[in-house]
Structure 1
Amino acid sequence: MIILIDNRMDVTDAYRASFGREGVSAATFTPADFDNWFHSTSGPDLAAVEAFILGDFDHRETITRAIKTKTEAPAIALNDSTGLESTLKLFAAGADDVIRKPVHAREIIARIGAIRRRAAPVSKGTDLGDLRVFNDGRDPEVGGITLALPRRERRILEYLVANRNRRVSRDQIFNAVYGLFDEEVEESVVESHISKLRKKLRNVLGYDPIDTKRYLGYQIISRAITSQAA
């Protein structure tokens, strides 16, 4: 989930729609509403945030500093115009990137991925038999061959692997993939994504690696699980 912050709702709504077309969920806040939410939210809710996008509004440096005190998620500022002093102040406040508008949602997503890769240790992935799953946005591999997956199916697989030692509920998967504020999407969509993911994995692995138990949730399984994370 991406958090968009700006006083101009037409701006945040436009970007929210653009991110949605790229398969990325986003929530929008005015600076005042964000401040109230941010200082009252819990750790697990913040963990679901992939990045914070700050529009061009007053006191962005203050919000950027606050973000950096509670989370390592990238903070990216969007500028309506060039301005060296404002850019330097944002970087000094902890911004991970400052981008001049107009900018396409796909470029922002790519920049978020690059920032997260630089911040995280190089990952060799997690091996589940012939299946290797990464946590840095790369598609999984089966027997060394890339298995291309739609973004949401890939994120579900990554979430299941990250929690492979326990069962996770449909609600937990939904929050991880769609975020906490998407009221326009039914949680039942998770079941559709998992069904498609299971079919693809079954075709290449020869067995179904996602175990489901009613009322208990989902868990990734393998005949041999070894962690290769660096």
Structure 2
Amino acid sequence: MIVIVDERDLVKDGYHSLFNREGVASVGFGAREFGDWVESAADDDIGAVRAVLLGECDTEIASPTRIRDRTSAPVIALSEQPSLENTLKLFEAGVDDVVRKPIHIREILARIAAIRRRAQDEAAHTDIGQLRIFLDGRDPQVAGVALPLPRRERRILEYLACNNGRRVTKTQIFNAIYGVFDEDVEENVVESHISKLRKKLRERLGEDPIDSKRFLGYQLVG
């Protein structure tokens, strides 16, 4: 889930629509509303945050330092003032990157992925047996051959790969894929996506690489 912090509803709604086209969950806040949410949100909700985009807002209220008290997700400033002084001010405030508008939504996603790789020392992919899972939006491969997946199923597989070695719950997966505040979709849709994903993986691998345990969640196994 991408969090957009901006005081303008038009900007928040615009980014939400663009991220939705890419199959990426997002939610928008004003600075003060976001500050309150960061302090009070449950760990599962905070854990679903993939990145925070700071637009036109008070960076003292939506402080990167305050954000990192709860999450290590990248913080990227969206700057409309193409000046060195403003850019340096944003970096001094603690953001991970500054981008100038207009910028394509895919470039934002690529920058998020790059920051996460550097911060977590992650490889560009995760290998589980014959299965190679990319973390940049590409379809996975089985024995070197691409396995085309619908974007929701691909995102679930990527999320499991990012949490390789740990179990994740249905709620965590739902929050990461659909967003914490999506009230139009039932959480049980995750089970349907995972069922379809497991069927496709079994057909290509001859086995199911997703282990599930009731009440404990899902985990990739090699």
Quickly name the TM-score band, shorter chain normalised: 0.7 to 0.9
Which is worse superposed, 128-137 or 184-193?
128-137
- Seen in structure 2, the aligned counterparts of structure 1 residues 25 and 160 have a Cα distance that, compared at 3 Å, is same
In our comparison, the structure showing a higher alpha carbon Rg is: 1
2:36 counterpart SS class = helix
User: Which ranges of structure 1 fall in alignment gaps of 5 or more residues?
Assistant: 226-230
> 2:87 is aligned with what amino acid?
T
Residue matched to 1:36: 36
Shift of 1:211: 5.1
Shift of 1:112: 0.9
Between stretches 18-27 and 66-75, larger displacement belongs to: 66-75
- Does residue 1:188 correspond to 2:153, yes or no? no
Q: Which residue is equivalent to 2:177?
A: 177
- Aligned partner of 2:206 in structure 1 is 206
Question: Do the aligned residues in 2 keep the contact of 1:61 with 1:93 (CA within 8 Å)?
Answer: no
Q: Which runs of 5+ in 2 are unaligned?
A: none
Contact 2:164 2:220 in 1 (8 A): no
Distance 1:109-1:60 versus aligned 2 partners, 3 A rule: farther
TM-score using structure 2 length: 0.83
**Closer, same or farther: CA 192–42 of 1 in aligned 2, 3 Å:** closer
| Residue pair 1:130, 1:143 contacting (<8 A) in 2 also | yes
Kindly indicate whether the alpha-carbon contact (under 8 Å) linking 2:7 and 2:31 is maintained by their aligned counterparts in 1: yes
TM-score in terms of structure 1 length: 0.81
Question: 1:88 and 2:63 equivalent?
Answer: no
Once the two structures are superposed, residues 120-153 of structure 1 have per-residue CA deviations (whole angstroms, 9 ceiling, x without a partner) of: 2143855443223455655433223343434431
Shift of 1:64: 2.3
Structure 2 CA distance for partners of 1:137 and 1:115, relative to 1, 3 Å: farther
Query: For the Cα contact (< 8 Å) 1:87–1:98, is it kept in 2?
Result: yes
Q: 1:12 to 1:144 in 2, by over 3 A?
A: same
Return the alpha-carbon distance in structure 1 between the equivalents of residues 34 and 186 of structure 2: 24
- Please identify runs of 4+ aligned residues in structure 1 that moved more than 4 A: 124-127, 134-139, 163-166, 215-218
Counterpart mapping for 1:1-230 below 5 A = 1-59=1-59, 63-123=63-123, 126-133=126-133, 139-161=139-161, 162=163, 166=167, 168-210=168-210, 216=215, 219-220=218-219, 225=222
User: Over the residues paired in the alignment, what is the CA RMSD in angstroms?
Assistant: 2.8
Report deviation, 1:32: 0.8
- 2:80 and 2:127 map into 1 onto residues whose CA distance is 44
Q: Is the 8 A contact 1:139 1:148 kept in 2?
A: yes
Amino acid across the alignment from 2:203: N
